[in-house]
């Protein structure tokens, strides 16, 4: 069998041994269900309570002190004169989820689109809540339980600040690098983590642990925790920071979504370095237009959110952001994977390869550092350069940063290779935006001798405006474009596919590949595999690392990697069976009789010990 060129192995899914704690890098110290995802078997947690992990040791904070911090209106014990007594209530935690309340928690009862969190205060109280944070609309219902109530006009906007106070400002003890942008956040976060790990290893005592928070997972050292969203809610995020601090983590790389910035999930955080990768149309069901989307990302690059910025010079919105930040006097370092001489860090001598790319990172003082992007594609050169620039801006030696980035084995669901012994390339990738889909297709074409067969769907209850562009891009750039379901959620899968097909139909016939429509995602993957020949590539796009498929509100177990691997194996079994039947059909009767005689079971021959001994006289 010929060699199959790889894009990214999946070693990143293997769990390594935990490293010892050390000094700060800053120098100072199954059946269908309704879960949001089906976790990996190695996503571990020691927690006996539901919800994300919490620190084991928390100093109780008096509720009166927290009320003063918020300048909140109060009811109950905080108002009746007992606030200063020895038995005044204190808090040891905070959550916005009434089901995840632990004894000693403040329950944040937030207003929602259909229900108000105050409707669940009784449940929170039964689980041990000691107080409620809410708005004027929820105050009366919360107070009816007899719990102390902290009332503020915008509880979601104060929740992060309150959580940071409850856990004694855990972020202040961590070097925090936050990454935002439309594409590349996850990959860049993993590459930054690689650099942080390498820097930690070089500490005199063996180094501190690192943390990672993002779309695929969160990591505390080498412990892995399933992620429910790109950026956790503020209450969960501050608790996670506190756990990291407690276990010896000293630095963290973190994805920051536009939703997180708008909804206050990163309130209470001040990032040491904020990274801007790029901006392209996405989440336009949440943002009314691209300007609103940009302004949401822009929030990260303010003194209230971060201390310094690292921004992509090559991106249109990044270039604009650099100019604005310089006018404001905000510290910013630019990077250019295209090698623009006006950027602070730029890539030169770029060599793209099937396993990754090499380049020279050139710094503002002429420093030249050999670097590797450990994933294929020019966009991953940009991600690697972004990671290196951020690490250098955080005070890490450029050569150490490059060494750490080079050792990252891969990123789950990002150009991740699936190998079942086939003689064609099989890849799973998370690309679910028009620009990302096109970038992946271009990157794979560069390392593919034959044809490209790609499977793609669009998620339901999400931005519908990108669906025609997704269909047209796939039809134009793939030799076989299989349109299928992603996570249709509450929408009709066929309606989504009709919109994608309309986009594909806009591509002139002489420019587009073969277009197939298959609603069932597993069948669509099998259809792409069935068309693959030696030297071809099969891409399954859109879901990447995800472990479930949401259809009509029920999330069923579904892993693109497993489905793709099984489709390859089933094709191999089918072809072997067909070949065997063809050989048998061409056999002569005599050859068939001889083969059947050879294949028939024969009694075992007796061993030497079982054979009777014959004397010479008997033999004669």
Is 141 known to sit in a ligand binding site? no
Q: Residue 595 pLDDT more than 90?
A: no
Q: Residue 42 pLDDT more than 50?
A: no
Interstrand relation of 249-255 and 175-180 (parallel, antiparallel or unpaired): parallel
| CA pseudo-torsion sign 175, 180, 186, 190 | negative
H or E stretch covering 318 = helix 316-328
For residue 402 the two structure tokens come to: 């490059």
**Pair 454, 436: CB distance under 8 Å:** no
Q: Can you tell me the mean pLDDT for 218-232?
A: 89
Is 151 known to sit in a ligand binding site? no
Confidence tier at 205 by pLDDT (50, 70, 90): low
Is 74 known to sit in a ligand binding site? no
pLDDT higher for 32 or 595? 595
Class of domain 61-167: alpha beta
Among 77-91, 124-138, 418-432, name the one with the lowest average pLDDT. Answer: 77-91
Confidence tier at 36 by pLDDT (50, 70, 90): very low
Is 488 known to sit in a ligand binding site? yes
Is 462 known to sit in a ligand binding site? yes
Confidence tier at 206 by pLDDT (50, 70, 90): low
| Residues 481, 483: Cα–Cα separation, whole Å | 6
Q: Can you tell me the mean pLDDT for 445-449?
A: 88
Among 365-369, 575-579, 590-594, name the one with the lowest average pLDDT. Answer: 590-594
| Residues 538, 434: Cα–Cα separation, whole Å | 18
* Full strand arrangement of the beta sheet holding 416-417: 416-417, 425-429, 537-541, 452-456, 480-483, 514-517
Class of domain 175-407: alpha beta
Is 370 known to sit in a ligand binding site? no
Confidence tier at 604 by pLDDT (50, 70, 90): low
pTM: 0.81
pLDDT higher for 207 or 453? 453
Bridge partners (DSSP) listed for residue 578: none
Confidence tier at 32 by pLDDT (50, 70, 90): very low
| Residues 347, 372: Cα–Cα separation, whole Å | 11
Q: Residue 39 pLDDT more than 50?
A: no
| Residues 278, 320: Cα–Cα separation, whole Å | 11
Among 159-168, 223-232, 260-269, name the one with the lowest average pLDDT. Answer: 223-232
**Pair 101, 164: CB distance under 8 Å:** no
Which DSSP string corresponds to 242-257? HHHHHTTEEEEEEE--
Is 59 known to sit in a ligand binding site? no
State the pLDDT at residue 18.
37
Phi/psi for 80 (5° steps) reads: -95, 10
366-398 residues labelled b (16+ CB within 10 A) or e (exposed): eeebebbbbbbbbbbbbbbbbbbbbbbbbebeb
| Residues 116, 538: Cα–Cα separation, whole Å | 47
Torsion of CA 554, 559, 560, 563, to 10 degrees: -100
State the pLDDT at residue 167.
97
State the pLDDT at residue 583.
84
Tell me how crowded residue 491 is: count the other CB atoms within 10 A of its CB. Answer: 18
Angle at 24 (CA atoms; ends 20, 26), nearest 5 degrees = 155
Is 265 known to sit in a ligand binding site? yes
* Intra-chain end-to-end CA distance of the chain, in Å: 57
| Residues 53, 41: Cα–Cα separation, whole Å | 17
For residue 273 the two structure tokens come to: 């370095």
Q: Tell me the domain boundaries of the chain.
A: 61-167, 175-407, 416-571
Q: Which residue has the tokens 């300007």?
A: 291
| Residues 620, 614: Cα–Cα separation, whole Å | 10
Confidence tier at 49 by pLDDT (50, 70, 90): confident
CA distances from 518 to 429, 482, 483, 493 (A): 19, 7, 6, 10
Alpha helices, H only, 150-229:
155-166, 185-201
Is 73 known to sit in a ligand binding site? no
State the pLDDT at residue 203.
83
Is 257 known to sit in a ligand binding site? yes
CATH code of the region 416-571 = 3.90.190.20
| Residues 72, 365: Cα–Cα separation, whole Å | 51
pLDDT tens digit string along 261-317?
A: 999 999 999 999 999 999 988 777 788 899 999 999 999 999 999 999 999 999 999
Angle at 195 (CA atoms; ends 193, 197), nearest 5 degrees = 70
State the pLDDT at residue 46.
45
Of 394, 342, 388, whose CA–CA distance to 368 is shortest? 388
pLDDT tens digit string along 51-71?
A: 789 999 999 999 999 999 998
Confidence tier at 603 by pLDDT (50, 70, 90): low
Confidence tier at 137 by pLDDT (50, 70, 90): very high
Is 139 known to sit in a ligand binding site? no
State the pLDDT at residue 614.
45
Is 231 known to sit in a ligand binding site? yes
396: left (phi over 0), alpha (psi -120 to 50) or beta: beta
Q: Can you tell me the mean pLDDT for 570-581?
A: 92
pLDDT higher for 619 or 102? 102
Which residues are within 8 A (CB) of 492 and not within 5 positions of it... i.e. 6 or more apart? none
Q: Residue 336 pLDDT more than 70?
A: yes
Across the chain, mean pLDDT equals 87
Q: 568-574 contacts: CB < 8 A, separation 24 or more?
A: 568/418, 568/420, 568/421, 568/422, 568/426, 568/529, 569/420, 570/526, 571/526, 571/529, 571/530, 572/420, 572/421, 572/422
pLDDT tens digit string along 488-524?
A: 999 999 999 999 999 999 999 999 999 999 999 999 9
Is 331 known to sit in a ligand binding site? no
| Residues 598, 589: Cα–Cα separation, whole Å | 14
- DSSP collapsed to 3 states, 363-407: CCCCCEEEEEECCCCHHHHHHHHHHHHHHHHCCCCHHHHHHHHHC
| CA pseudo-torsion sign 402, 405, 409, 410 | negative
**Pair 132, 121: CB distance under 8 Å:** yes
């Amino acid at each position: 069998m010929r060699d199959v060129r790889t894009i990214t192995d999946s070693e990143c899914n293997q769990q390594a041994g935990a490293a010892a704690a050390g000094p700060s890098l800053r120098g100072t110290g199954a059946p269908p269900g309704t879960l949001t995802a089906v976790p990996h078997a190695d996503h571990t947690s020691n927690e006996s309570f539901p919800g994300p992990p919490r620190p084991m040791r928390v100093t109780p904070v008096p509720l009166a002190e927290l009320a003063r911090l918020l300048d909140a209106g109060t009811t109950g014990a905080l108002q009746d004169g007992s606030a200063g007594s020895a038995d005044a209530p204190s808090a040891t935690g905070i959550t916005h989820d009434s089901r995840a309340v632990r004894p000693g928690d403040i329950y944040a009862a937030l207003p929602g689109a259909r229900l108000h969190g105050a409707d669940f205060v009784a449940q929170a109280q039964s689980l041990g809540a000691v107080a409620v944070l809410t708005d004027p609309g929820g105050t009366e219902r919360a107070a009816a339980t007899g719990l102390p109530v902290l009332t503020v006009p915008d509880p979601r906007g104060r929740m992060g600040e309150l959580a940071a106070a409850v856990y004694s400002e855990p972020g202040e003890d961590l070097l925090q690098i936050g990454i935002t942008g439309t594409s590349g956040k996850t990959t860049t976060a993993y590459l930054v983590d690689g650099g942080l790990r390498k820097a930690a290893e070089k500490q005199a005592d063996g180094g501190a642990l690192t943390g990672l928070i993002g779309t695929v997972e969160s990591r505390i050292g080498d412990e892995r925790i399933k992620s429910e969203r790109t950026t956790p809610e503020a209450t969960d995020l501050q608790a996670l920071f506190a756990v990291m601090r407690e276990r010896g983590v000293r630095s963290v790389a973190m994805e920051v979504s536009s939703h997180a910035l708008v909804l206050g999930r990163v309130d209470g955080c001040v990032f040491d370095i904020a990274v801007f990768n790029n901006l392209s149309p996405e989440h336009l069901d949440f943002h009314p237009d691209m300007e609103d989307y940009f302004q949401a990302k822009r929030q990260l690059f303010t003194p209230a959110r971060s201390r310094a910025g690292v921004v992509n010079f090559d991106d249109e919105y990044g270039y604009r952001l650099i100019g604005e930040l310089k006018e404001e006097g905000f510290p910013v370092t630019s990077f250019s994977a295209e090698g623009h001489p006006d950027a602070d860090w730029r890539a030169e001598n770029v060599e793209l390869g099937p396993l990754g790319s090499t380049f020279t990172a050139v710094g503002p003082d002429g420093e030249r550092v050999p670097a590797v992007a450990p994933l294929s594609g020019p966009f991953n050169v940009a991600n690697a350069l972004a990671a290196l620039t951020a690490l250098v801006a955080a005070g890490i030696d450029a050569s150490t940063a490059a060494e750490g980035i080079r050792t990252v084995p891969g990123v789950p669901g990002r150009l991740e290779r699936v190998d079942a012994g086939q003689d064609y390339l099989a890849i799973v990738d998370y690309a679910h935006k028009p620009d990302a889909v096109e970038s992946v297709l271009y990157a794979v074409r560069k390392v593919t001798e034959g044809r490209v067969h790609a499977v793609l769907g669009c998620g339901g209850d999400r931005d519908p405006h990108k669906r025609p562009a997704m269909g047209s891009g796939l039809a134009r750039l793939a030799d076989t474009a299989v349109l299928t379901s992603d996570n249709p959620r509450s929408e009709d899968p066929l309606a989504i596919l009709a919109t994608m097909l309309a986009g594909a139909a806009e591509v002139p016939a002489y420019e587009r590949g073969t277009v197939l429509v298959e609603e069932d995602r597993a069948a669509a993957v099998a259809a792409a595999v069935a068309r693959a020949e030696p030297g071809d590539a099969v891409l399954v796009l859109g879901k990447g690392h995800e472990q479930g498929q949401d259809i009509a509100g029920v999330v069923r177990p579904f892993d693109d990697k497993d489905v793709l691997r099984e489709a390859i194996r089933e094709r191999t079994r089918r072809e072997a069976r067909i070949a065997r039947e063809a050989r048998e059909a061409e056999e002569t009767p005599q050859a068939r009789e001889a083969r059947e005689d050879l294949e028939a079971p024969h009694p075992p021959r007796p061993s030497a010990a079982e054979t009777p001994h014959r004397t010479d006289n008997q033999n004669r």
